[in-house]
Structure 1
Amino acid sequence: MNDGEVNVFELDGRRGKGSNMSLSRGESAQGESASGKKQVSNAFDFAQGMKALNPQERALVERRRRVLGTLGPLFYDRPIHVVRGEGAHLFDAQGDDFLDCYNNVACVGHANAKVREAVNGQLGLQDTHSRYLQDEVLDYAERLLWHFPALLNRVSFTNSGSESNDLALRMARVYTGHQGVVVTSNAYHGITSLVSSVSPSFGTGVPLAPFLATVEVSDLLTGGLPEAEIRATLLSRFQHAFRQLHAAGYGVSAVLLDQIFSSDGVLPGAPGWVDDIAEAVHKVGGILIADEVQSGFARTGDEFWGFERHHAAVDVVTMGKPMGNGIPTGAVVYKEAVGDAFAESTRYFNTFGGNPVSMRAAGAVLDQIEDMHLQSHAKGMGDFISTELESLLAGRSRFGGIRHAGLFIGIDISDGRDSSGCHGGDPQAARSIINRLRDERVLISAAGAEGSTLKLRPPLVFTQQDAERLLESCELLCSEGYFG
């Protein structure tokens, strides 16, 4: 827990001398292959999983493999053939009802009627690029900016969170004149060439940028250390990363942080530490980019945005598809000076960023969040589920702790083998729990570098009845010994 918990990457993406990683290529608790590819913790195994499927399932998977290959993962040991959704529920081809405790993209519920009406109505009028004067993009931009502090007063639209993070990083480079980027050690920020190069969660198979430094945060934010010690240690680590990037000649353009630290294991703790980092990065000439693709739009309950939980002085905020309930859209909100500097050096346009259909969908999402009071609902429902799960799992040997902010919940699954009370993660046990819940028609997934943290982030319209069903299924798994 010193300021050496930082890693700067060499040109070919290998970890340099400052690495705090002990695993070599081909070794990873989350299934990193010899090629360096880190496997999705809950992925269907195309090589070994076919034999467990019935003939109909096998035929559909084979059909998918023929045309889509194996590039994109399928979830679960027995993938689900989804044909319909409603609220927090998905239905398969046989009509079976699956409780969706995972899909944050459909934030106001699958097949939301208000979103559908907004999209259908706009499709009957026009849907073209944003290089004309249009009311739709202006109507939404004004509503969206109302939810931000006054200094964050400009917005550009994209089609996804990946595009948003890509644009934000380009803006940071121009505005600061630096190139270096700092992220957390298992961060995921998207799939463009630039953004994937600063997303270490892909594994060593995707070359990481030479101008990237990573900082370990999960060891501090999952423990029981005093908050003051956590904040001081995290600040020291980030400052060390800044010094390394300056010494390497890159400087610091930005710290890019997912505000719920989902890929690192769902880490909402020590609210306020992100503002410490904002102050520190400003002192070295960089900016703070808040990635709100997963934490934004009322999900954390306490605040509308994750960065607000930390009272952080951010410079740029990025969003993605949850803002349109799955309709492709994204946004970058930024301080005027950041955008002006970028506009002076280049032009930016995105053919369908801010298109009228996506804007009407996004407006309907805001309507639903406001009309259904989903921010307070997320807080109350998240508190209830977390309290009940903690009570249910207390004393179980594989229960390593629970963390949450609103309807974003992480449950650590430990190996339970260390009598001293220091447990390691157990990704295989986590996978078994995930797939057993799938058999009970309850859908969750995993997070963390090892894939040993159960991740729950259901649609914001999750009801009390939905919560009771989740808890009953977890109680059943407890009786079967899945939690030790």
Structure 2
Amino acid sequence: MVNSFDPSKGPGDLAPDEASLLARRRRALGVLAPVFYEHPVHIVRGRGAHLFSADGADYLDCYNNVAVVGHANPHVREAVADQLTRQDTHTRYLQDEVVDYAERLLDTFPEPLDHVAFTNSGSESNDLALRMARTFTGHRGVVVTGNAYHGITALVSSVSPSFGTGLPLAPFLVSVPVDDVLKHPDGTFDDPDVAACARAELVARFEAAFTRLHDAGYGVSAVLLDQIFSSDGVLPGAAGWVGDVADAVHRAGGLLIADEVQSGFARTGERFWGFLRHQADADIVTMGKPMGNGIPTGAVVYKHGIGDTFAECTRYFNTFGGNPVSMRAAGAVLDEIDRLGLQRHARDLGDRIAASMNDLLADTPRFGGIRHSGLFLGVDVLADDGSGRPDPAAAARIIAALRERRVLISGSAADGSSLKLRPPLVFSGSDADRLLSALADVKPLFG
């Protein structure tokens, strides 16, 4: 995992209480539960975009998209606490909470996407979406991007190349590289001719993938795309190309599943959902993490004909999916996004941060440019020899140096050579100033 603690190096300079907690964690949780950073952070509480360690230190969280409206958000907390005093059971009873939230959520989508099913996570959402696509199309083939990550269930992990070579990928999967086309700094695709060439190249690659699946006898059930391409290196560029791919997969007999776990709920600033930014005719939209601001919940929004076909041959029931406590948390998140104007805030502050970072780092040899949409930013780190080669070791040093300055980010791309920043949407102007000040401190690491 990018930016993970390496237990083989020992506790290093950890304080005795940190080393003890890390040892207890390893004994109880084993090696299946990695932690971030060369020097792990012991967090005990949070507020807004800030996390506080056991020794009282204030860390600026520039990475956590789960707490989309801020850590320990009072409105979310009060909604959850109030519901816990009432009832919290499954959705086979008539309940106001699940219907109230479903109606509000669907109001954020264009009309063809008119039904919703609830889950507990993005992984469950993508699993259900793929099963629905198989049933509706009668095909099994799936296409994703080259370093995609879509979750941890058996089905979804088998179509997630970012897990590496140790986990066999599904025989009905074709992955399409997109980073070589899209991994360019902001502004590259402002030229209409450049954008048109990029879009045409990407569509051709996906069409070739569809041909492979048809020739192999699998057909095409779905293209499953994270709408910000977070694991591929944060690739928001050439807005609109996903719409072209949607048209192509429809011609091939499949569906477009828009994975909005990373890009949804106003994060990109331009639109509430990433697939709308790409002018894509999505058939199914999945979501998870940010939906409940940390309370586990997820959803699958779909065109009703797809769900009707699925229901004819099977049933879907999820004991905790759509439970009243999660629905109240999710409703409070929508309240806060609206009350605080977080979509416009994400756009404006993201633009400011990206411009300031570019000004700060433009004269350094390791700076490979910045890509962003709203409060989702990717920065490429290159070798300092002018070759243009990515330098994951240098990226790791920068991440560690920022952590020592109590600013938390992580890495992205298959080799970990891109810096990834996606702070809570309540990230403030003063938070941005603190981030930029820390980047100025570590500027020498960019060469």
Q: TM-score range by the shorter chain?
A: over 0.9
Cα distance, 1:417 vs structure 2: 1.7
- Is the 1:278–1:287 contact (alpha carbons within 8 Å) kept by the matching residues of 2? yes
Equivalent residue, structure 2, for 1:296: 264
Partner of 1:192: 153
**Corresponding residue to 2:332 among 348, 351, 364:** 364
3-state secondary structure, aligned to 2:230: coil
Matched residue, 1:132: 93
Residues 27-81 of structure 1 show CA distances to partners (whole Å, capped at 9, x for unaligned) of: xxxxxxxxxxxxx110000111413322222111101111011211100011011
Of residues 438, 441, 445 in structure 2, which corresponds to 1:473? 438
After superposition, the C-alpha distances for 1:428-464 in whole angstroms (9 at most, x for unaligned) are 1111100110000000000001100000000000000
Say if 1:426 and 1:452, in contact at 8 Å, map to a contact too. Answer: yes
Matched AA of 1:348: Y
- Kindly provide the amino acid, as one letter, of the partner of residue 67 in structure 1: A
Shift of 1:321: 2.0
Shift of 1:395: 1.6
> In structure 1, what residue type is equivalent to 2:445?
Y
- Contact persistence 1:49–1:77 (CA under 8 A): no
What SS does the corresponding residue of 1:339 show, helix, strand or coil?
helix
2:408 — aligned with what? 443
Q: Who is 1:275 aligned against?
A: 243
Paired position in structure 2 for 1:34: none
What is the match of residue 294 of structure 2? 326
Cα distance in 1 between the residues matched to 2:12 and 2:317: 48
Residues 204-215 of structure 1: matches in 2 within 5 Å?
204-215=165-176
Where do 5+ consecutive residues of structure 2 fail to align?
A: none
Q: Is the 8 A contact 1:407 1:458 kept in 2?
A: yes
- Percent of aligned positions that are identical: 67
Unpaired runs of 5+ in structure 1? 1-39
Q: TM-score, normalised by structure 1?
A: 0.90
Report the aligned-residue RMSD. 0.8
Q: Does the CA-based 8 Å contact 2:275-2:282 persist in structure 1?
A: yes
Tell me the SS of whatever aligns to 1:255.
strand
22, 25, 40: which one aligns with 1:61? 22
Deviations 1:283-327 (A, max 9, x none): 010000000001000000000000011110000000002110010
For 1:346 and 1:311, locate their aligned partners in 2 and report how far apart those are by CA, in whole Å.
32
For residues 188-208 of structure 1, the C-alpha deviation after alignment (integer angstroms, 9 at most, x for no partner) is 000000000000000011110
Give the paired residue count.
440
Cα deviations by residue, 1:346-398 (Å, 9 ceiling, x for unpaired): 00100010000000000000000000000000000100000000000002011
Q: Retained in 2: the 8 A contact 1:257–1:289? A: yes
Residue type of the alignment partner of 2:16: P
Q: Are 1:376 and 2:376 counterparts?
A: no
Aligned to 2:36: 75
Matched residue of 1:402: which SS? strand
1:260 paired residue number: 228
SS of the equivalent of 1:482 reads helix
Moved over 3 A (4+): none
Distance 2:83 2:247 in 1: 43
Q: Report the structure, 1 or 2, having the larger helix content.
A: 2
Superposition TM-score, scaled by structure 2 size: 0.98
Within 5 Å, give how 1:316-355 maps onto structure 2. Answer: 316-355=284-323
Letter in 1 for 2:167: V
1:92 matches 2:47: no
CA contact (8 A) 2:65 2:289 kept: no
Check the 8 A contact 1:46/1:70 in 2, yes or no.
Answer: no
1:239 corresponds to 2:207: yes
Give the whole-Å Cα distance in 1 for the aligned partners of 2:201 and 2:335: 41
The one-letter amino acid paired with 1:442 is: V
Does the alignment pair 1:482 with 2:424? no
Q: Which residue of 1 aligns with 2:392?
A: 427
